[in-house]
Structure 1
Amino acid sequence: MSDHSQGGLTPTGTIASSTDRRRVVVATVIGTTVEWYDFFIYAFAAATVFAALFFEPMGEEFAQIVAFFSVGVSFLFRPLGAFLAGHYGDKIGRRPMLVITLLLMGAATTLVGLLPTHAAIGVWAPILLIFLRIIQGISAGGEWGGAVLMAVEHAPKSKRGLFGASPQIGVPIGLLLASMMLAFMAQIAPGVPAGSDIHLQDTAFGQWGWRVPFLVSIVLIGVGYWVRRRVQESPVFAEIAERKETTRMPIVQLFKHHALLVIVAALVFAGNNAVGYMTTGGYVQRYATDPKGPIGLETSAVFWVVALSGVSWLFFTWFGGWLSDRIGRRTTYIIGWVMLLVGVFLLFPLTNIGTLGSLAAAVVILTVGLGFTYGPQAALYAELFPASIRFSGVSISYAIGAIVGGAFSPVIAQAIFQSTGSTVGITWYLAGMTVIALIATLLLRDRTGIPLGPENEDEQAKSPIYGMSGAPERTR
């Protein structure tokens, strides 16, 4: 093997230069922020305007369920994005896939902002909307794995949780930006006032206000593209390529040897995603602003409250990643699941008080557990899978977890509320998903600090319980 020092690599697979490390952190934060801003803008629009503008002929209540369903459709295509990005990310590198997924997401989001509504082109409007949402899903499926591996594989061993939290905090920042943008547009282009019979299409927000946040995406994509093009390839992948140890069919190897691990890892994320999508998927926004609902708060004010939750989620995500470097990924997760259960049982009782203050308390408390079970995820997943199939492993586990967890949680919540007239069933559904994720976490071995480089590709990597409790420990 050639001298790694010439390329900036060390034998443990980390970047020697602190400048390069900072550049990677900035690139993963900015890129992930842009991707998830795009993703959340769609979810929020589905909660507030898409039912009336694209699905209205289906009837008011069913149109809203279908609008939420269109949010979940993209999750069904995340595995396709994960398969494609994982395959090529393990073969040609992490960085090229990050650039491709960023451009794909940006193009789809911008086109949503240009779509005619059902009133203009009939049934083609919802068809094209769902098609573009599918493109977003394919992009999101490939984005996360590449971003977290670029961050974690560049990190010092003792700071993987902290570095891995950098792409994770891009998600709450994306939530913050999306909420602020929609809150701002709802103020300058008002929608339907509470208790009014005005049709959304007759308001400024329904005519053009909702489109502006989608169109702004093209500027953000340009910034993200420029930043990501300046980042070096992951040193772990560079070492694999130099040793000519890339796997010819990484996905085949993943499912041949690690199918059980993929399922357990997916269930860990499913709990966080199901609960998180109460706000990021738009359900709480819809529930709190519905003019005919039990609360009927003003739309722009609710978006500002959700923006506040984005700030608290960002902090606790960062803190969760940092803490996992000190007490271990598994312990941090267990603490997080307990906190998340508390947040789940307080979410609707506080929200139903009907004030902005009580809503703010509900969503901020929820972000404590969400952050503790999201911040360490990048490092946890990276340490579960061998280097040669790591991109495939983390991407596909994440995509499956998103389907089982958040894909249809707003739809399920809406259906439960419409059938029972109560939020109690929603609470028990979310609590059940949290408990399942806790059990899955207990099945995993804490592998904090384990070597990530290809020097550890050995026969143990072919164990079907690699990374799980009961698997043989590897040299650290």
Structure 2
Amino acid sequence: MAATAPQTDRRYAWKVAASSFLGNTLEYYDFLVYGTAAAVIFPKVFFPGEEGFLATLAAFGTFAVGFLARPLGGLFFGRRGDVRGRKSTLLLTLSVMGLSTIAIGLLPGYATLGVLAPALLVLLRLVQGFAVGGEWGGSMIIVLESAPAHRRGFFAAWPNIGGFSAQILITAVFAWVYTLPDEALYSWGWRIPFLLSAVILAVTFWLRRSLDESPVFTEAAGRPETPQHESGPVRAVFREDWRNLLLIVGLRFAEALPYFLLTVFALSYANGALGIDKSTLNTAILIVSVLAFPAHGLFAALSDRKGRRPVYMLGAVVVAITAFPFFWLLQSGNFLLILLGYVLVLNLGHNAINAVQPAFFAELFPANRRYTGAAAGREIASILTGGLTPFIATALAGPDSTRWPLVAGYVVLGAAITMAAVWKSPETFRRDLRNTGASPSAAAPGNAGSAVRK
């Protein structure tokens, strides 16, 4: 049928994946550049009246604020994407997300505006988070719904590497920024990484405008409306898919905790408590970010053959058993050992989860509320599993950062929650994405027999 033609066109699938990859790169670039600045720059620029520990907590608090708006953005843009289409919604989220980041780069500091400066920072962070809440779900879903059926996990994984491509960009930019004298760094140098997001925004907007609407959405939109649509996708998700929403919350712990711990909190902890130069960790993060590309491809391809659950479970187990060793390796101060710790936690643990997550989450929901369900579930989980991680880790470590075992134990607990969620989740890798009927959330764990095989 004509509506599904793009689904078998691999060249078009790669084009969709490229546009979503760039959009997700901008999403993570916006959030990670803020996280990096919150760890190093913002305590002095926006919270200069506080002592070092309190200023860092305040800066990480504004980092967490952005995540508070993400569930609302997920619900708002998810509903819009399910009703009005994936493409137009993604153009909107991209624009709002990019412009708010540029505005942060132009914001005067505390020395100029006083208390108004951190207040405006929080406001822009909320706007940024609101837009990000709708970006991830839509960008993954439009790829999933446009990819060849037997390789949709593989194609959907590539946009999710945006976090690591963004990390490469941020590491390169801040490597230059950190060479500036303190006076230049804290006046105008820190603004450069924020303003550079305009380049990614322009390229991604141009590429995204040329896409077609998702064939699965086009086909679903042409059918008679279901009772779920009559009551609205948001209400239907909470009424029919609440079990899947809870599963997604549990599934996110082993993915988000180690990622934000190693890319945000560890920068502050290693430099302040261990005296490790920031460039050492930036180099390690750069290397694991490059290794993330082949790792995602491998794990995603494996999930198309063996299923989402076993690959996801593997990642959660690795995160659990490497949490304490990571801190031991970090405390050694040796670059190669620090790099080993990053590779174990991120490339072998986190990457296995991150590669599978886009397809796994989206496949839990039927077509007519897939955007709403995947976006809302992921962003509700983001508050607990992502935005609060640097803040909680800093508080657990304490003013002198000696209570690091509590931080490692926090990660192990999160990984255990994820393992339980994987155990309770149904297998989804052979489900029919065109289904607009009742949610399959009640399926028995690991039972794909009732799914339509494609």
Q: CA deviation at 1:467?
A: 7.4
Relative to 1, partners in 2 of residues 1:190 and 1:449: Cα closer, same or farther, differing over 3 Å? farther
Residue correspondence of structure 1 range 12-161 to structure 2 within 5 A: 15-161=7-153
Relative to 1, partners in 2 of residues 1:283 and 1:31: Cα closer, same or farther, differing over 3 Å? same
Amino acid across the alignment from 2:266: V
Quote the Cα distance in structure 1 between the aligned partners of 2:101 and 2:404: 32
Amino acid across the alignment from 2:160: Q
Q: 2:319 aligns with which of 308, 326, 340?
A: 340
Is the contact made by 1:113 and 1:212 (CA closer than 8 Å) also made in structure 2?
A: yes
Residue equivalent to 1:265: 248
Quote the Cα distance in structure 1 between the aligned partners of 2:197 and 2:444: 39
Does 2:428 match 1:447? yes
Deviations 1:242-290 (A, max 9, x none): 224372410101111111221112210122111211133x111111222
Residue equivalent to 2:418: 437
Q: 1:289 aligns with which of 244, 254, 271?
A: 271
For the residue of structure 1 that corresponds to 2:425, the secondary structure is coil
Amino acid across the alignment from 1:152: L
Q: 2:172 aligns with which of 164, 177, 180?
A: 180
Is the contact made by 2:78 and 2:371 (CA closer than 8 Å) also made in structure 1?
A: yes
Quote the Cα distance in structure 2 between the aligned partners of 1:245 and 1:170: 35
Residue equivalent to 1:396: 376
For the residue of structure 1 that corresponds to 2:387, the secondary structure is coil
Residue correspondence of structure 1 range 259-408 to structure 2 within 5 A: 259-280=242-263, 282-290=264-272, 293=273, 295-367=274-346, 368-408=348-388
Quote the Cα distance in structure 1 between the aligned partners of 2:296 and 2:58: 31
Residue equivalent to 1:209: 189
Deviations 1:205-262 (A, max 9, x none): 1122111011111121101100111111111001011224372410101111111221
Q: CA deviation at 1:161?
A: 1.1
Quote the Cα distance in structure 2 between the aligned partners of 1:418 and 1:209: 30
Is the contact made by 2:76 and 2:134 (CA closer than 8 Å) also made in structure 1?
A: yes
Relative to 1, partners in 2 of residues 1:270 and 1:299: Cα closer, same or farther, differing over 3 Å? same
Does 2:442 match 1:465? yes
Is the contact made by 2:153 and 2:356 (CA closer than 8 Å) also made in structure 1?
A: yes
Deviations 1:415-470 (A, max 9, x none): 111167221111101100000011001001112111110xx333xx2566257568
Q: Point out where structure 1 has 5 or more consecutive residues left out of the alignment.
A: 192-202
Quote the Cα distance in structure 2 between the aligned partners of 1:457 and 1:222: 35
RMSD of aligned C-alpha atoms?
A: 1.8
Amino acid across the alignment from 2:239: K
Quote the Cα distance in structure 2 between the aligned partners of 1:283 and 1:273: 12
Q: CA deviation at 1:308?
A: 1.7
**Runs of 4+ deviating beyond 3 Å:** 466-472
Residue equivalent to 1:200: none
Residue equivalent to 1:235: 215
Q: CA deviation at 1:95?
A: 0.8
Residue equivalent to 2:451: 474
Is the contact made by 2:73 and 2:133 (CA closer than 8 Å) also made in structure 1?
A: yes
Quote the Cα distance in structure 2 between the aligned partners of 1:434 and 1:16: 37
Amino acid across the alignment from 1:21: A
Moved more, 29-38 or 241-250: 241-250
Amino acid across the alignment from 1:287: Y
Quote the Cα distance in structure 2 between the aligned partners of 1:470 and 1:450: 11
Quote the Cα distance in structure 2 between the aligned partners of 1:462 and 1:29: 28
Is the contact made by 1:180 and 1:304 (CA closer than 8 Å) also made in structure 2?
A: no
Is the contact made by 1:313 and 1:370 (CA closer than 8 Å) also made in structure 2?
A: no
Q: CA deviation at 1:312?
A: 2.3
For the residue of structure 2 that corresponds to 1:376, the secondary structure is helix
Deviations 1:355-389 (A, max 9, x none): 33332222122111000011011111121111111
Residue correspondence of structure 1 range 409-420 to structure 2 within 5 A: 409-418=389-398
Relative to 1, partners in 2 of residues 1:467 and 1:113: Cα closer, same or farther, differing over 3 Å? farther
Q: CA deviation at 1:343?
A: 2.5
Quote the Cα distance in structure 2 between the aligned partners of 1:283 and 1:155: 36
Is the contact made by 2:10 and 2:147 (CA closer than 8 Å) also made in structure 1?
A: no
For the residue of structure 1 that corresponds to 2:427, the secondary structure is coil
Amino acid across the alignment from 2:429: T
Residue equivalent to 1:245: 225
Q: Point out where structure 2 has 5 or more consecutive residues left out of the alignment.
A: none
Residue equivalent to 1:428: 409
Quote the Cα distance in structure 2 between the aligned partners of 1:467 and 1:386: 17
Quote the Cα distance in structure 1 between the aligned partners of 2:304 and 2:447: 22
Relative to 1, partners in 2 of residues 1:433 and 1:85: Cα closer, same or farther, differing over 3 Å? same
Is the contact made by 1:337 and 1:438 (CA closer than 8 Å) also made in structure 2?
A: yes
Deviations 1:132-158 (A, max 9, x none): 111111111100100110111111121
Relative to 1, partners in 2 of residues 1:475 and 1:299: Cα closer, same or farther, differing over 3 Å? closer
**Aligned residues, how many?**
448
Q: CA deviation at 1:340?
A: 1.4
Is the contact made by 1:384 and 1:466 (CA closer than 8 Å) also made in structure 2?
A: no
Quote the Cα distance in structure 2 between the aligned partners of 1:467 and 1:75: 32
